[in-house]
Amino acid sequence: MAAGTINTIVGSGTLVTFPTLLALGVPPITANVSNTLGLVPGSASGAWGYRRELSGQLRRFLWLAPATTLGGILGALLLFTLPSSAFRAIVPVLIGVGVLLVIVGPSLNRRLAARATTGEHHRWLWPAMFGNGVYGGYFGAAQGVIMMALFTVGIEDDLQRLNALKNVLSALVNAVAAVVFLFSGHMDWRIAGLLAGGSLIGGQIGATVGRRLPPLVLRAIIVVVGIAAIISFAR
């Protein structure tokens, strides 16, 4: 429930569930795979809770969905081909950059928007979302922090609307990665089922709370969670 709530508001629920599963003695790959599938209902629940803010964003979603889908599939495949230490080493750096972008995002967005030809979004966002999809498919902790950072710089829109888009695309990344993981032989269905039930409820709680937060508070939460994630991975 806590992970579903956090994922909907910010996007770092894995920082709650993954360490918990490891503490309970679940092998890392099994924990990661089962966690990815278990949090999909929570992401979908949060996206449904933000459906009002999604209005008018279909074109934007259709533009970014292929990037996150392809990235999520590639990231899931990399989980079984790369050593965990290789990707883990860069995770704190990615989250740190994400936190920095959240802080300076509004001013950067204004400057970039003034130079943009459309004023809607920036072309670099598509490959950046592909990279975020790879990260999300591989592990995914704090992928929402990085995604929101990219959105605040690359898309000129209200923060709550961007958060709604983040919830949908995060659910998409987790879903496609989970499909790949189904064939891995590492899935623990009991764990995935328990996480799914809790995250489903948490998604609605997060949508109810998150939609009422002013942009400054939401941005502050993203920064705090991002810093906590860096500290967690640095240990």
Strand partners, 39: none
What are the tokens at 216? Answer: 């400054």
CA–CA distance, 102 with 86 (Å, rounded to integer) = 26
Per-residue model confidence (pLDDT) at position 155: 87
CA–CA distance, 140 with 29 (Å, rounded to integer) = 13
What are the tokens at 117? Answer: 């030809």
Cβ within 8 Å of residue 173, ≥6 positions away: 68, 69, 71, 72, 75, 132, 133, 136, 137, 140, 143
Per-residue model confidence (pLDDT) at position 58: 94
Q: For the chain, give the secondary structure using H, E and C.
A: CHHHHHHHHCCCCHHHHHHHHHHCCCCHHHHHHHHHHHCHHHHHHHHHHCCCCCCCCHHHHHHHHHHHHHHHHHHHHHCCCCCHHHHHCCHHHHHHHHHHHHHHHHHHHHHHHHHCCCCCECCCHHHHHHHHHHHHHHCCCCHHHHHHHHHHHHECCCHHHHHHHHHHHHHHHHHHHHHHHCCCCCCCHHHHHHHHHHHHHHHHHHHHHHCCCCHHHHHHHHHHHHHHHHHHHHC
In the predicted model, what is the mean pLDDT of residues 143-163?
88
pLDDT digits (tens, 9 = 90+) for 170-184: 999 999 999 999 988
In the predicted model, what is the mean pLDDT of residues 193-208?
94
- Asked if residue 53 has pLDDT above 90, the reply is yes
- Biggest CA pair distance of the chain: 53
What are the tokens at 146? Answer: 């990085």
CA–CA distance, 232 with 140 (Å, rounded to integer) = 14
Cβ within 8 Å of residue 210, ≥6 positions away: 8, 9, 46, 50, 160, 163, 218
- Asked if residue 105 has pLDDT above 80, the reply is no
- Asked if residue 112 has pLDDT above 60, the reply is no
The mean pLDDT of the chain is: 86
Which one, of 47, 33, 57, 52, lies nearest residue 4 by Cα? 47
Per-residue model confidence (pLDDT) at position 54: 93
